[in-house]
Amino acid sequence: MNPKTIVALDFNDISEIRKFISGISPDECRLKIGKELFTCYGPEVVREVQNAGFEVFLDLKFHDIPNTVYKAIKAAANLGVWMVNVHASGGREMLLAARRAIEESDNKPLLIAVTILTSLGEEDVKEIGFSRDLTEQTLYLAKLAYDCGIDGVVCSAWEAQAIKDKTSREFLTVTPGIRLSDSKTDDQTRIMTPQMAIKNGADYLVIGRPITQSQNPLQTLRDINLNL
């Protein structure tokens, strides 16, 4: 099984995690451990989720000097995770250092680079000071990551197909900012429904609140999977 749905476990309470994973099977989704959960519980929570049979996307979005990212990626790979990420805007040397760290590790997680966060819109990108527009900057960073041997990118589903066209069909697109037609937008800007995202070239869907904050998270996950 290669489930396309990655559920973002954005909780700070381990009992919530235990409740959620006790009801689902690893065939139904992968699980993302991000900054909040990792800061609260560290590698122990990664091991607990892995021991329950789930593959883990460790989403710590490293963005630092090459040597620091190299060592952090080595440590992440040693946790036996399935996927890790860095920010593409850390630059070529940082991306190459991350690649090298994985090549030198026994466990080789998929290495993914964040392009432009899905919370950002055109005006934000202008304010940050990028000279290209949002889509062009996303494509530019995706190409940089591709040229550095990164396995894929985090992007919004709006850019997924264009990224594949500019790089390769095999270059992975991991898309957060997924919302059901009746979901709240929350702090996301570039959103798309699960079915549309897959149609537009997304390989994996990262979904947090639309599942975890729903009345019946397990049913919501299953409904999403059924309709992909």
Q: What is the largest CA-CA distance in the chain?
A: 47
Q: Is 64 a catalytic residue?
A: yes
Q: Is 117 in the site for ligand OMP (CB under 6 A)?
A: yes
- Contact segment (CB under 6 A) with ligand OMP among 22-30, 37-45, 200-208, 216-224 equals 200-208
Task: Please report whether residue 85 would count as binding ligand OMP according to CB under 6 A.
Answer: yes
Residues in contact with 33: Cβ distance below 8 Å, sequence separation at least 6, in sequence order: 9, 45, 46, 49, 56, 57, 58, 59
Q: Does 114 bind ligand OMP (CB under 6 A)?
A: yes
Selecting among 4, 13, 19, 64, the annotated active-site residue is 64
Per the DSSP assignment, residues forming a β-bridge with 7 are 31, 207
- Pick one of 90, 194, 208, 217: the residue that binds ligand OMP (CB under 6 A): 208
Nearer to ligand OMP, 66 or 152 (CB): 152
* Candidate list 93, 209, 214, 225; residue touching ligand OMP; CB under 6 A: 209
Stretch that binds ligand OMP, among 38-46, 70-78, 93-101, 114-122 (CB under 6 A): 114-122
| Active site annotation includes 187 | no
Residue 106 DSSP symbol: S
Handedness of CA 166, 170, 172, 178 (dihedral sign): positive
- How far the first Cα of the chain sits from its last, in Å, is 14
CA 223 from chain center: how many Å? 21
Binders of ligand OMP among 130-159, rule CB under 6 A? 154
Q: Is 61 a catalytic residue?
A: yes
Residue of 61, 71, 74, 166 marked active site = 61
Q: Any alpha helices (H) in the chain, and if so which ranges?
A: 14-22, 35-41, 43-51, 66-78, 92-103, 122-128, 134-147, 157-166, 194-199, 209-212, 217-226
- CB closer to ligand OMP out of 114 and 160: 114
Query: Counting contacts by CB under 6 A, is residue 176 touching ligand OMP?
Result: yes
Give the sign of the dihedral formed by CA 37, CA 40, CA 42, CA 47: negative
Has 199 been labeled as part of a binding site?
no
Query: Would you tell me which residues interact with ligand OMP (CB under 6 A)?
Result: 8, 10, 34, 59, 61, 85, 114, 117-118, 154, 176-177, 186, 188, 206-210
Which residues are known to be catalytic? 59, 61, 64
List the binding residues for substrate: 10, 32, 59-68, 118, 179, 188, 208-209
